Chains A and B, each alone.
Chain A
Amino acid sequence: MLRIARLLKFEALIIVARHSAEQKETVIYLNPEFAKRSGIKEGDIVSVVKGDRRVNLKVKLLDTAPEDGGIIPNSIFASYLSDFQNFKSFRAYIEIAEGGESKVEDILKIVMDKK
């Protein structure tokens, strides 16, 4: 069945913060109310898009996430999207992803390709 959420993208506040289960986990913690409004469920894979950069992360729900977005734990995924002007929080778009979760190796390859 076609999910309307698949056709939409939502602007979100993303906070980058330390979280106990971090580094390797490809996760975004979304506020449950924000997720509900956006038609996103726990376990969905979403693309977080900022400018021309995109990472695919698995959704977990967390009620301490910002009301209008989510938290990405400190990791190469967060660093790939952020910059020093918006190091610990930034605005990005979230949409249901087409493919699977991003892998550390994918981002590392992009970094290395800039040689």
Chain B
Amino acid sequence: MICTACSCLCDDIELEDGKILNACERGYKHISEYRQNRAKNSVNGKELDLDKAIEAAAEILKSASSPVIYGMDTITVEAQKLAIKIAEKLGGYIDDNSSFCLGEFVEAILKKEVPSATLDQVRDYAYVIIYWGTNVYRSLPRHMSKYTYYPRGAKRNRGYDEDRFLVVIDIRKSEIAKLAKKNAKFIKVENDVELVESFLKAVEGKASKYDVGGVIREMKRADFNVVFGGLGLKYGLKGNYGLFFEFIRKMNEITPLYFLPSGFHSNMRGFNETLFETVGAVNKFSFSEKKSDRAFEFSELLRRNAIDAALIIGTDPVSSLPYDVSRNLMAVKKITIDPKNTLTASISEVSIRSALSGIESGGEMVRSDGVRQKLRPIEKTEYDDVYILKKILEGL
């Protein structure tokens, strides 16, 4: 089966005699505990059957003057397309976690503002591998062992200590920073913008605050290098994405350097690509104003009390958004579609239990590098996100 615990979408998970093989700790937990803490179909706290809950959801959306569809990063592309249709029919807003996660990075890749590559290409060809503001040991536990640093690739077949050069950039000595010993460098960063400027100066042969000349020299030795950027980089840049992308482009004038977001929810890239194909934007889109804007981010809409109903699919904003924002959810009618009884589901006017994508329902998801994967569920339930969203759409 394909593991849907994170955006690596590992395709080699096997179930044998009740054992889960090849999964990381995160994937193992995701698969082995999928029956635990399941959501119930309910309206105003009262347990009802699925059809009644769907009816109530459609009624809330129909009567809303300013609805938003939010989340969708853990559901399949097929379900995402239906959610977009619902937002379009309502003339409402649509946004996902990427607006506060790595949406800017995916957008730059989709708009071809920076060169990108697949994880398979990284495994086969990459020499310098830079992890910037991300600790994949915790967030994407098999990233280095399955896709990047450790595997022997087609052109990198002498092992990581000879055929790879690892660079870890972080504000602390994380687990992966500790790996930066032989053929490697750890850069403790205090200011990401200054570090980008240091790289730009080093490209021109000038001295700079951070000693990055050695990294540039290593990159020049190879015909394939890669930067994985995480949330630490995103927030460290403080909005200066253009400067960072300029660094990637400048590097490419002297040696190939590809850029990849280091990972996120299982199908965040799928949502970004699906919305991009539909409206030309990756997130924070208003169907009534027909444009994407920062003001249409879910968190901004909440902050300004600009919405009166929210269809929240496969995400838990009460847990993941800062309190200054999440507290305003209480003034909004909430419909939650989720396999799990999340904190948001527990306080929603309508809660709808869905199937867990990849385990109980099939469909397509998009890996963090843009490679599409067909899910191979171990069970099959009729009442998956596609069924539920189709019914809601019909009810509008």
Contacts and interface: CB of A to CB of B under 8 A. Distances in A.
A115 B331 contact: yes
A106 interface: no
Nearest to A77: B319
Given A15-B171, A19-B138, A84-B299, A75 B319 contact: yes
Contact of B172 (A18, A19, A66): A66
Interface string B129-146: 000000100110100000
B135 A17 contact: yes
Contact of A111 (B173, B177, B299, B318): B318
Given A20-B29, A79-B320, A79-B322, 18 more contacts: A13-B171, A15-B171, A18-B135, A20-B25, A64-B172, A64-B178, A66-B171, A66-B172, A74-B319, A80-B323, A81-B323, A82-B322, A83-B322, A83-B324, A88-B235, A89-B235, A111-B347, A112-B347
A84 B25 CA distance: 29
A104 interface: yes
B222 interface: no
Interface of A: 13, 15, 17-20, 23, 53, 64-67, 74-76, 79-84, 87-89, 104, 107-108, 110-112, 114-115
B330 interface: yes
A108 B235 CA distance: 26
Contacts of B235: 87-89
Select the residue from A18, A20, A75 with max chain B CB neighbours within 10 A.
A18
Interface of B: 25-26, 29, 100, 135, 138-139, 141, 171-175, 177-178, 231-232, 235, 299, 318-331, 343, 346-347
A76 B235 CA distance: 20
B347 A108 contact: yes
Contacts of A23: 319
A82 B322 CA distance: 6
Contact of B323 (A17, A18, A65, A79): A79
B323 A53 contact: yes
Contacts of B174: 64
Contacts of B26: 20
B100 A84 contact: yes
Contacts of B321: 79
Select the residue from B175, B320, B322 with max chain A CB neighbours within 10 A.
B322
B325 A65 contact: no
A84 B324 CA distance: 9
A114 B328 contact: yes
A12 B93 CA distance: 39
A76 B319 contact: yes
Contact of A64 (B141, B175, B328): B175
A79 B324 CA distance: 9
Contacts of B141: 20
A17 B326 CA distance: 19
8 contacts: A15-B172, A17-B138, A18-B139, A20-B26, A20-B138, A64-B173, A108-B343, A112-B347
